[in-house]
Amino acid sequence: MCGIAGVIMKDGGTPDPATLDRLLHAIAHRGPDGHGRVVRGDTALLQTRLAIIDLATGDQPLYAPGGSALVANGEIYNNPELRTAMAGTPFVTRSDCEPAVFLYEREGERFAQRLRGMYAIAIHDPGRNRVLLARDPFGIKPLYYISTATEFAFASEPQALVAAGFARAEVSAQRRAELLQLKFTTGAETIFPGITRVLPGETLVIERGEIVARARIAALPAGPPLPIRHDAALERLEQVLSDSVAVHLRSDVPYGLFLSGGIDSSAVLALMSRLAGGRVRALTMGWHGAGVADESREAERLAKVQGADCTRLEMGEADFWALAPRIAAAIDDPTADAAVLPTWMLGRAAREAGLKVTLCGEGADEIFGGYSRYRKRRPPFSWIARKARTKGVFGGEIQDWRAGLDRAEAVTGADRTKLQATQAVDVEEWLPNDLLVKLDRCLMVHGVEGRTPFLDPVVARFGFLLPDAEKAGLRFGKILLRDWLAKAFPEAGAYARKKGFKPPVGTWMAARGEGLAKLVAGQAGVKAALAAPVVLAAFAGAEANPQRAWSLLFYALWHAHHVMGVDAQGDIGAVLAQAR
């Protein structure tokens, strides 16, 4: 796992060494174990390394016999199988990413179709003087680019493109509205004008600094659900989950598990305990204070049943007040999801415990039908409400924000069921632009890799094509996954109602009351977005509707650091006092 970046000069000149240094420095946290660069003519590729596989010889760039050079951020889980299939290939390292550059020289821009894993890859082909950028189909690993009058530049994080001088620290008003209403931004355009996401599954071909071709690998299969008996579905689920967890455990460094106490991470715990060949190390998060929904004690109990070593962390109001600015600073592609708070703390704890890899349950809800909105897409709910349509966090108080979501909803596939169409929108937008951004930034800022065994192409194909009745029922989602867990790990309470993994931010914000509200209302970025009375009202109702107040507080802290340049090392009050 690493950070990557690069520059292609449009006039044929050589990239500026000082600019390359700034790019490397801006992504250094993603790769604390070393760095590499190659500059050839008008093209430079950069990488900072977090060593996970092949600690001795896996430094990048990696090269193929034809001269193509690769830098990558990711893990290619089918590396052993690719090497077996490519017997006789003159590999020179054991790096899991090395087969990708050989595949490129054999198969051209279709090379990514053979990869099973999470990745953001850049390849320079000197013979054709072109660069390819590729991102995994779910968008687990990030990649961004910008095209200016003189350069084409890319990086693992948009803040690196700003820091290197390719883009200005400005905000798109439309994207700001989208962020406040949805908690994230959709599509290819980011909140920074000019900086664009490589879309999940996309491969771009760049020649002389211009995109000349693009292709995309779909995360989800086409078509309606396939018929399957329940007992056969349970047997197949056992196979695909066991296989996915097994390949996600491939590592040359210590690994662990983020254990929430819910069914997703409990399923991963059960399989890791069976497959890992030793005691699983788990981390769980609880909240300080009485009356707060907290599943961490349940997580400790489940870990004990499986013989795992579980460390419980606790987050309280003091942590929130002290750490929120630093956490907002880590989320340069902003998501106002309060789960960034515990995820950042878990990432820090993993690093302190010597764990460079952690598995987690992200993606299970989207693939196996876990959200309540999926149940509303099945009868009898779908007969009552023909289309679930979010009004946004702020309702009519913020306008002109739905275009990206409408676009995603319009292309979900006519042959899919209503439930599948809703899943497809979530996989296209919510998953890569909220949940996976949160996971990537909150862990990589500490030099920790997060792995998501539910977001595997084999698992996804099986889960997405299940009959609707195996996903969502009248009372529960993830029907098949719950039924499997009830047999594989009966102590996990597969049919219990989940309390959630949400910190009590409403209570914490309410404790600071009107003073915090006034600080946020006076912050420069918030003042440009909403009138003070709307902001004050949001904080007055923070306990009843915490998301409105948290979205505003997060945006105020994010804007203070990423746009105004305020140091994020102070507490909430100190940072906001400088951002008026």
Q: Report CA Rg, the chain.
A: 23
The neighbour count for residue 12, using CB atoms within 10 Å, is 11
Give this prediction's pTM.
Answer: 0.96
- 126-135, 390-399, 426-435: least confidently modelled range: 390-399
Return the domain boundaries, the chain.
2-216, 230-374+432-492, 505-577
**Which amino acid, 276?**
A
Question: Mean pLDDT throughout 344-366?
Answer: 97
Mean pLDDT for the chain overall? 94
- Structure-block tokens of residue 92: 């020179």
Has residue 366 got a pLDDT over 60? yes
CB 91 within 8 A of CB 135: no
Query: pLDDT digits over 177-188, tens only?
Result: 999 999 999 999
Instruction: Give CA torsion, residues 173, 178, 179, 183, to 10 deg.
Output: 170
Has residue 513 got a pLDDT over 70? yes
Q: Identify the pLDDT of residue 291.
A: 64
Q: How far apart are CA 354 and CA 176, in angstroms?
A: 38
Percent of the chain with pLDDT over 70: 97
Query: pLDDT digits over 13-65, tens only?
Result: 999 999 999 999 999 999 988 889 999 999 999 999 877 876 767 789 999 99
Which segments of 32-146 does DSSP mark as H helices, in order?
Answer: 79-85, 98-107
Per CATH, 2-216 and 230-374+432-492 having the same topology is answered no
Q: Identify the pLDDT of residue 290.
A: 57
In the structure, how many helices (H) and strands (E) does the chain have? 23, 17
Has residue 388 got a pLDDT over 60? no
| 329 pLDDT tier (thresholds 50, 70, 90) | very high
| 380 pLDDT tier (thresholds 50, 70, 90) | low
Pick the CATH number of 230-374+432-492 from 3.30.450.190, 3.60.130.10, 1.10.10.10, 3.40.50.620: 3.40.50.620
| 496 pLDDT tier (thresholds 50, 70, 90) | confident
Question: Mean pLDDT throughout 497-505?
Answer: 80
CATH architecture assigned to 2-216: 4-Layer Sandwich (3.60)
Higher pLDDT: 288 or 567? It is: 567
Query: pLDDT digits over 419-456, tens only?
Result: 999 999 999 999 999 999 999 999 999 999 999 999 99
| 384 pLDDT tier (thresholds 50, 70, 90) | low
Q: How far apart are CA 66 and CA 12, in angstroms?
A: 22
